[in-house]
Structure 1
Amino acid sequence: MLAHTVRVTTLDERTGALLERLERLCPGGGYHIFEAADLAPDSEEEIAEAICYLSDSHCVDVRYAEGGTYCLRVLPAGMVYAQQARERARESDLRNRRTAIFAFCGAFAGGLLAALIAAVVVLIVK
């Protein structure tokens, strides 16, 4: 029997945030026990659905889940996804800063050019 793996390409915002939180809370890749309330402010049902999806996507391994208590560990695919999400956020932040700097410089240069043109026109008219 061939084992198939599911490659996770995208997660919704809540599930991605939960995976990133689990990755931070599970150093070393071992199993850890969590209460649903400790994982996210979402309802217990939403957390259960997200953990089930992460398990089906081979991002986490759930040893048991009973009454809002979970024993799980983050698998390598989940760690990679969380690291890539952090990198994408860092790149987005850098891109936003760069855009703001270029917008400021462009506005400043445009204002300076307009002032110079106005000064030249005033000197020519006199």
Structure 2
Amino acid sequence: MGHDAAMEVGDSLQVYVDGDSSRYQASLRQGEMSPGQTIVSFRPGMDKLDAITSASEKFYAGRGLVYTWRDGRRVDTSHLHLREWLGCIRDGGTPSCSIAKAFATTITCHMATRSYREQRRVTWDKEAERIV
């Protein structure tokens, strides 16, 4: 049993919200989530990803994170990143976002978080590849 969620592994993989979770505390209090609610579900051999088709979709959809707007039309984005990524793993393809872009984006987010938490400006040391 973890602090924020519990994982059950058997013929499938399920991740459930922990009632004492600090990460999901606000959502639990507001009734958006409930203890024991499945937030990730994976069943090998399914032709559809549960991250798109079930509990995870409900989790994201309830927060308005499933759609975006393109050319004045609402587009379901739940599958875009995850489906492409898993498709590349399965079929040996190349994702549209390279590891270098993903690294730069992730470091940028970490720098912003660190700057906010430490209430100071942070910079990136390219040679040492670390935040200073």
Larger Rg belongs to: 1
Higher relative contact order (CA 8 A, sep 6+): 1
More helix by percentage:
1
> For this structure pair, what is the TM-score category when the shorter chain's length is used for normalisation?
under 0.3
What TM-score do you get using the length of structure 1 for normalisation?
Answer: 0.26
